[in-house]
Structure 1
Amino acid sequence: MVEAEDLQSLKTIALLGGSRGPIRLSSQSLGKELEISPQTASRRLIALERQQFIARSMKPDGQYVAVTREGEQALKREYADYVRIFNPERRQHLLTGAVISGLGEGRYYMSIPHYKEQFGGCLGFEPFPGTLNIRLDPASTEVRKHLDHAAWIEVPGFTANERTFGGARVLPCRIGGHRCAIVEPSRTHYPDDIIEVIAGCELRKALNLNDNDTIEVEITHD
């Protein structure tokens, strides 16, 4: 868990422009922004660097500091918490979790022509052959349990080449501006805290996502 004082320092660095690239920042100037001593500011910078939330480099004109991917993820988690506190209505339509690697089954099933046709017909986009797997945080897992009354779209099973393929249901959503859908096979083996998302593009590349990145899924129909 990130210490409150470290998070405050990280947020200040980001507000000063550190989330867009390296900025020149001394312990004295950070201390002035935070109203703390330069010595305390120096310790904060060391702590943030140790947690890999910032990267520091020295140049002839001074110290440069930039917020790393890990630092951005820490700030995004904090933002998601504030959304839940101050916008409870939106909270009912927002799931937050971490990107994880799947078992590769999504790529296989999303490559089957009949599945692609059915999903495309009900969602309005042809799904990319693969799914984005997300492990929900505890609060979102509870929200997920109450989505059974949302506007799920049923996709019936079918038989092809003497093999039976099970049905599924999909729930329209949006991630980072991309139209998506949570997909639940009728024979799922995933626990309640894991969801699979399909989209018309490869979301990992489109959104530059890596495992453990925090991500928000906004339900667009309920």
Structure 2
Amino acid sequence: MVESEDLQSLKTIALLGGCRGPIRLSSQSLGKELGISPQTASRRLIALERQQFIVRSMKPDGQYVAVSRGGEQALKREYADYVRIFNPEQRRYVLAGTVISGLGEGRYYMSLPHYKERFGEYLGFEPFPGTLNIRLDTASIEVRKHLDHAGWIEVPGFTADERTFGGARVLPCRIGGQKCAIVEPSRTHYPEDIVEVIAGCELRKVLDLNDNDMIEVEIAHD
């Protein structure tokens, strides 16, 4: 969990433009913005850098600071919490993690005609034969625990060729602007840190993703 003092400092850096790129920022100027001493501000910067929430560099004209991808994710999670507090009718969740390789089972199931038809009917797109596997970071594992009432759609199972195929539940979401859905087969117990995502396209190719790339899944629930 991010300490409140660190989050306050991170937010201030972002408001000064740190999410758009490196900004010139000294301990004195940050301290003035926060109403704290330069020494305390320096400790805050060190703490943020240690947590990989900011990137610092020294140039001839002074220190430059930029909010990192991890820092942006921390701010987005804080934003999602405030949305849930002040606008509970429109809840927005963000899951963050890294892309990993799966076992190939998703490709088989997403290629079955009945599953393709059912998912197309419930989600509005015919899934690409394969899934994108994501290992969630620690904070997102906690966010995931709040998703049980986030708008899951139950997709029933079916029987074909004397074989029974289980149902699943899907949760519409977006990755990089691409419409997709988290899928959880009813017969499979997934580790709490892994999610599988289906989409109407090959997300790895469309978004140029490789294993270990950082990624965010945005979920909005009316």
| TM-score, with length taken from structure 1 | 0.76
Residue 53 of structure 1 deviates from its aligned partner by 0.9
Corresponding position: 1:184 with 2:188: no
Structure 2: gaps spanning 5 or more residues:
none
Pair 1:67-2:67 in alignment? yes
CA 1:57–1:143 in structure 2 vs 1: closer, same or farther (change >3 Å)?
A: closer
Is 2:207 the partner of 1:206?
A: yes
1:157 is aligned to 158
- Give the drift of 1:14: 0.9
Instruction: Tell me the residue number matched to 2:90.
Output: 90
- Which residue does the alignment assign to 2:145? 141
Partner of 2:37: 37
SS of the counterpart of 1:89?
coil
Question: In the TM superposition, what whole-angstrom CA distance separates every residue of 1:11-68 from its partner, at most 9, and x where no partner exists?
Answer: 1111111111111111122122112222221121111111111111111121111111
Which residue is equivalent to 1:6?
Answer: 6
Q: Secondary structure at the match of 2:72?
A: helix
CA distance in 2, matches of 1:19, 1:60: 22
Structure 1 residues 22 and 118, CA gap change in structure 2 (3 angstroms): same
Q: Decide whether aligned partners of structure 1 residues 85 and 13 sit closer, same or farther in structure 2, where only a CA change above 3 A counts.
A: same
Cα drift, residue 183 of structure 1: 2.7
Give the corresponding residue for 1:26: 26
Note the C-alpha offset of 1:206. Answer: 3.3
> Are the equivalent residues in 2 in contact too, given 1:170–1:183 (CA < 8 A)?
yes
Moved more, 180-189 or 64-73: 180-189
Alignment-mate amino acid for residue 197 of structure 1: V
Distance 1:203 1:141, change over 3 A: farther
Contact 1:10 1:67 in 2 (8 A): yes
1:146-169 Cα distance to aligned partner (Å, 9 max, x none) = 46xx67353442435xx7351424
Between Structure 1 and Structure 2, how many residues are aligned?
Answer: 213
User: Structure 1 residues 192, 46: closer, same or farther in 2, change over 3 A?
Assistant: closer
- Higher mean alpha-carbon deviation, 9-18 vs 170-179, is at 170-179
Structure 2 distance, partners of 1:54, 1:193, is: 25
Q: TM (normalized to structure 2)?
A: 0.76
C-alpha contact (below 8 Å) 1:19/1:68 kept by paired residues: yes
CA distance in 1, matches of 2:193, 2:64: 40
Question: Hey, what's the Cα distance between the residues in 2 that align with 1:64 and 1:122?
Answer: 49
- Matched AA of 1:216: E
Amino acid at match of 1:217: I
Identical-pair percentage = 63
RMSD of Structure 2 on Structure 1 (CA): 3.3
Counterpart among 97, 100, 104 of residue 99 in structure 1: 97
Shift of 1:127: 1.4
Q: Which runs of 5+ in 1 are unaligned?
A: none
Q: Answer whether contact 2:158 2:164 (CA < 8 A) is retained.
A: yes
Q: 1:61-97 CA distances to partner (integer Å, 9 max, x unpaired)?
A: 2111111111112112211221222122223xx4554
Tell whether the 8 Å contact from 2:183 to 2:198 is kept in structure 1 after alignment: yes
> Which range is displaced more, 122-131 or 38-47?
122-131
SS in structure 2 of the partner of residue 109 of structure 1: helix
